[in-house]
């Protein structure tokens, strides 16, 4: 399954770092506490390849759970370079995907989950309809459904035992709303994403034979970004690893926990790493950022850490820019003045090496407008992007478009990767080697005839949807929301849409389009790195927001820290004059003391 020579080469590189080597050599349960830029993905994938080659014998395998689709894709790419392909022995996916494909779909009936034979996963519209129905039934004044949805989600994710006094008495009105909402979903034959880990946890709790079945298949459980994955996964880990007997290898960083609004609990990682039956390893060398950035990041975090730059010669620089006027005026200054100065200082860098990060998508609109006025190509990773970059089906379409725009000639990406990721996307519809061959033929037939970066995207997509996507997606319950995302995007590039002239090369990022300035919310930038980072809109009232409690204030500080530590060479803190964030003020004081 793995290329022994490949992972041994990577292991030789880990040997010089005591923390990475200790993680690689660990034998029992191990938790790796990995600071920013510390090579945690390299360590995790090398360790996983080693366990598959040396510790886990066929046909048994390893399951790897991570936070989101972007993390999943990066892990798959890194593992593929080590000769490890996701498949029968290897699961790589989100906690929702693990819960659905490894527990709920195969075992729902025998585990007594009470789901219909052919249930589906609710689309956004179906969730909204069910919530509106539940609110009308249980609340005198339903109010804002979006706010209700947020509160309902938090309640479901934080109190897992429905039989407990805590569930019934913490917020009786909300508990009743949740139960009515879930009943409305079930009447439609649906579950939603929050249901997936909750059903999986219930199935595991009530059926010890199911724990043994998972142990037989996956004697090792690897978890990436543990601090972001919440209470349901933590409860699964306790049962599967510390009672049923799976071996745990977990990686995370409490300082980078920024998803409290989705149920992330950094305290669970602290609790796990403090167990006597767990070996805890710390990765303290930062291979990404220059030394001044690493030192200043401790100030950004507000807590002392012993992190240091792996390359002492790489200094890094921190700049602070108080700018006047509206965000539109400030964005124009960044794009027209500061960005050219950066590229002049670093001739080897181009737009693709620079990111502008901000607290909210609407602030990014100002930067997008300024970039468009300056004819600078951009790629957005926020709620106002042309399509959600976290979408699995859109990520796959990007790969297919890259193959059609020259990848078929260069091997970047290889067609085998399109087939592999397509199989994972349509896993419920591709049941055999013969089925995979049929999928391969259908895909190559469509793509081979449309290897043209200048073809209208609408035409290319319509052929792919009709001949590949729709025939397979119709059998996949987990893809209903993804298909809705695809339909929304298809409408925007259709002849009557607002991007009707978009060509295939723009989706693929081929040629000149590949050199694009990244615009992203701070949340969406997590896990990424850039030569230069502009943190835009660093104003009091934006980060942190006014009137937040201590818990939200601590998470806002961690969010600032995450953005700060994306940079290799330069960090630019941009704020409205006389309205700077207190986090910026602390950095400014640190720089003054340094001088």
Q: Is there a binding annotation on residue 35?
A: yes
Rounded Cα distance between 73 and 452, Å, is 26
Rounded Cα distance between 13 and 17, Å, is 8
Q: Taking the alpha carbons of 375, 493, 73, 1 in that order, is the dihedral positive or negative?
A: negative
Tell me 88's DSSP state: S
Instruction: Determine which helix (DSSP H) or strand (DSSP E) holds 554, and give its type and residue range.
Output: helix 550-564
Distances, alpha carbon 87 to alpha carbons 56, 471, 568, in Å:
15, 22, 35
Rounded Cα distance between 372 and 493, Å, is 19
For every residue of 429-473, DSSP letters joined together read T--SHHHHHHHHHHHHHHHHTT--TTSBHHHHHHHHIIIIIHHHH
Neighbouring CB atoms inside 10 A of 330's CB total 26
Q: Is there a binding annotation on residue 347?
A: no
Q: Is there a binding annotation on residue 114?
A: no
Q: Is there a binding annotation on residue 40?
A: yes
Q: Is there a binding annotation on residue 359?
A: no
Three-state DSSP at 276 gives: coil
Cβ neighbours for 424, distance < 8 A, ≥ 6 positions apart: 86
Among candidate residues 193, 202, 200, 197, the one with its CA nearest the CA of residue 122: 193
Q: Is there a binding annotation on residue 93?
A: no
Rounded Cα distance between 313 and 386, Å, is 40
Rounded Cα distance between 429 and 435, Å, is 8
Output the 3-class SS for 11-65: HHHHCCCHHHHHHHHCCCCEEEEECCCCCHHHHHHHHHHHHHHHHCCCCCCEEEE
Summarize the annotated binding site for ATP as residue ranges.
34-41
Summarize the annotated binding site as residue ranges.
34-41
């Amino acid at each position: 399954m793995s290329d022994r020579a490949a992972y041994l080469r990577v292991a030789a590189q880990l040997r010089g770092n005591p923390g990475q080597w200790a993680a690689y050599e660990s034998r029992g349960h191990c938790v790796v506490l990995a600071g920013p830029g510390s090579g945690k993905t390299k360590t995790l994938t090398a360790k996983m390849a080693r366990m598959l080659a040396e510790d886990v014998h066929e046909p048994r395998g390893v399951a790897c759970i991570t936070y989101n689709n972007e993390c999943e894709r990066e892990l798959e790419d890194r593992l593929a370079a080590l000769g490890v392909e996701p498949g029968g022995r290897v699961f790589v996916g989100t906690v929702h995907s693990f819960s659905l494909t490894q527990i709920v779909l195969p075992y729902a009936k025998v585990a007594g989950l009470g789901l219909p034979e052919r249930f589906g996963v609710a689309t956004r519209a179906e969730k909204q309809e069910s919530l509106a129905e539940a609110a009308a039934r249980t609340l005198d004044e339903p109010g804002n459904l979006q706010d209700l949805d947020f509160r309902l989600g938090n309640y479901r994710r934080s109190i897992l035992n429905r039989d407990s006094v805590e569930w019934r008495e913490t917020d009786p009105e909300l508990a009743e709303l949740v139960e009515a909402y879930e009943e409305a979903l079930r009447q439609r034959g649906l579950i939603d994403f929050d249901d997936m880990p909750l059903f999986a946890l219930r199935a595991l709790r009530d059926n010890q034979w199911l724990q043994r079945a998972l142990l037989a298949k996956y004697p090792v459980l690897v978890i990436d970004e543990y601090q972001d994955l919440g209470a349901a996964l933590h409860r699964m880990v306790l049962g599967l690893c510390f009672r049923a007997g799976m071996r745990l290898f977990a990686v995370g960083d409490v300082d980078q926990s920024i998803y409290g609004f989705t149920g992330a609990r950094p305290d669970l990682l602290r609790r796990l790493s403090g167990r006597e039956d767990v070996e805890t390893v710390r990765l303290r060398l930062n291979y990404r950022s220059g030394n001044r950035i690493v030192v200043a990041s401790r100030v950004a975090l507000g807590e002392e850490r012993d992190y240091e730059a792996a390359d002492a010669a790489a200094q890094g620089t921190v700049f602070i820019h108080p700018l006047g006027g509206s965000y539109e005026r400030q964005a124009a200054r960044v794009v027209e003045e500061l960005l050219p100065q950066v590229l002049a200082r670093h001739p080897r860098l181009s737009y693709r090496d620079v990111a502008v990060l901000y607290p909210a998508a609407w602030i990014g609109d100002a930067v997008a407008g300024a970039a468009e006025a300056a004819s600078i190509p951009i790629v957005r990773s926020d709620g106002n992007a042309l399509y959600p970059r976290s979408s699995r089906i859109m990520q796959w379409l990007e790969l297919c478009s890259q193959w059609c725009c020259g990848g078929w000639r260069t091997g970047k990406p290889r067609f085998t990767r399109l087939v592999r990721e397509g199989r994972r996307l349509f896993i419920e519809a591709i049941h055999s080697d013969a089925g995979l061959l049929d999928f391969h033929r259908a895909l190559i037939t469509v793509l081979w005839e449309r290897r043209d970066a200048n073809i209208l995207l609408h035409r290319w997509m319509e052929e792919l949807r009709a001949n590949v996507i729709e025939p397979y997606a119709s059998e996949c319950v987990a893809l209903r929301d993804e298909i809705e995302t695809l339909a929304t995007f298809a409408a925007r590039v259709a002849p009557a849409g607002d991007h009707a002239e978009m060509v295939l090369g723009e989706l693929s990022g081929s040629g000149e389009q590949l050199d694009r300035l990244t615009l992203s919310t701070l949340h969406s930038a997590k896990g990424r790195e850039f030569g230069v980072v502009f943190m835009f809109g660093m104003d009091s009232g934006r980060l942190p927001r006014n009137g937040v409690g201590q818990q939200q204030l601590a998470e806002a500080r961690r969010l600032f820290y995450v953005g700060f530590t994306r940079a290799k060479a330069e960090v630019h803190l941009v704020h409205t004059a006389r309205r700077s964030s207190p986090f910026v003020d602390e950095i400014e004081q640190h720089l003054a003391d340094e001088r």
